[in-house]
Amino acid sequence: MQGVVYKSTGSWYTVKTAEGSFYECRIKGKFRIKGIKSTNPVSVGDHVTFEVETIGDETIGIINAIADRRNYIIRKSVNLSKQTHIIAANLDQVFLMITLNNPPTSTSFIDRFLVTAEAYHIPTILLFNKIDTYNEEETDEIKYLAALYRSIGYTCIGISSTTGKNIDKVKELMVGKTSMFSGHSGVGKSTLVNALEPKLDLKTKKISVQHAQGQHTTTFAEMYDLDFDARIIDTPGIKGFGIVDMEKEEIGNYFPEFFALKQHCKFNNCLHIEEPKCAIKEALDNDEVAWSRYRSYVQMVNGEEENYRTDIYGEKK
């Protein structure tokens, strides 16, 4: 039989078939997936093949194959440096929720997130939440940001999860797809999901599983069906995609507006920092590339952490 993994607790996997039945499954033997050293071979969102076995009056599934992943997101395992934990697979899109204040979301955080999403090949939509709370100046700042990210090619929507403003637009984008909501704690992810489907009443509780060694706890993702033909993956306690290892030279490729220009740089290995005749720096001087974006880029190339808030023009605040 075939199905999609909706939940995993490390040793058991809940798999839903196309007919809509759920099976509790285990894995047969040890899986090795090419190129990934992962603590969990199967993750939420995986398409798997399994055989049904009946032991006594208990029916369980034995997973024997995983389909190739369209994409996946990982984070480093807490204890083992080289190992990674696959959080979720086969996402159609991620919604990054942003608020100006309560809590503040910096452009540096947004850009880091977008770069990682580009690297993982996951389309991102920016949701500027809590628009019911902003004064005129703050509304202008949101409009500026939305225009900036739209010009790069990202869909941006101003919403209010509490008043319901533009929630229908979010719904429309979700139909037929598997989505994930990300953003800092407090931006309104749970409130939005509850607004999308009140009866789901998303379990905000953490699904924590204590590992056998008792060294640390791990939180697992879970997939939910919404009644307008949409699925969401909830990742308790994980605000973004975690870390991804990237070569310096690679980072610029994940800034779409830089990538579009880089063929015009004099040097084809241009890092857009010190090099002469750099198309990105020229565009920056002509206000065709945003300073905040360039600043985020330089921070990433230099391996700096996002540790202070910048305003929309990239000035320290």
Ligand X SMILES: Nc1nc2c(ncn2[C@@H]2O[C@H](COP(=O)(O)OP(=O)(O)O)[C@@H](O)[C@H]2O)c(=O)[nH]1
Of 223, 179, 181, which Cα lies nearest the Cα of 91?
179
Residue 166: CB minimum distance to ligand X, A = 10
Binding flag, residue 188, ligand X (CB under 6 A): yes
Site for ligand X in 133-172 (CB under 6 A): 133, 160-162
Which partner in Zn ion, Mg ion, ligand X, none is near 286 (CB below 5 to 8 A by kind)?
none
Question: Exactly one of 63, 131, 157, 265 binds Zn ion (CB under 5 A); which one?
Answer: 265
* Binding-site member from 88, 223, 233, 270 for Zn ion (CB under 5 A): 270
The residue within the footprint of Mg ion, chosen from 190, 194, 219, 253 (CB under 5 A), is 190
Distance, in Å, from the CA atom of 235 to the CA atom of 63, rounded to the nearest integer, reads 23
Instruction: Report the relative pairing of strands 72-76 and 93-98 from DSSP bridges.
Output: unpaired
- The size of the interface with Mg ion (CB under 5 A), counted in residues, is 2
**If DSSP codes are grouped into helix, strand and coil, which group holds residue 167?**
helix
Binding track over 209-248 against Zn ion, x by CB under 5 A: ----------------------------------------
Binding site members for Zn(2+): 265, 270, 272, 278
- Burial (CB < 10 A; 0-12, 13-18, 19+), residue 109, is buried
CA 292/CA 298 separation, integer angstroms: 10
Residue 300 near residue 114, CB atoms below 8 Å: no
Closest distance between Mg ion and the C-beta of residue 206, in Å?
10
- Of 93-101, 136-144, 190-198, 266-274, which part binds Mg ion (CB under 5 A)? 190-198
Interacting residue with ligand X among 9, 39, 77, 191 (CB under 6 A):
191
In the complex, what is the shortest distance from the CB of residue 168 to ligand X, in angstroms, rounded to a whole number? 15
Partner whose binding site includes residue 130, from ligand X, Zn ion, Mg ion, none (CB under 5 to 8 Å by kind)? ligand X
Q: How far is the CB of 162 from ligand X (least distance, A)?
A: 4
**Number of Cβ within a 10 Å radius of residue 95:** 24
Amino acid at 166: N
Report H helices in the chain: 107-119, 136-152, 167-174, 189-196, 248-251, 256-259, 279-285, 291-301
Cα gap 37→85, rounded to integer Å: 8
> Can you give the binding site for Zn ion, defined by CB under 5 A?
265, 270, 272, 278, 280
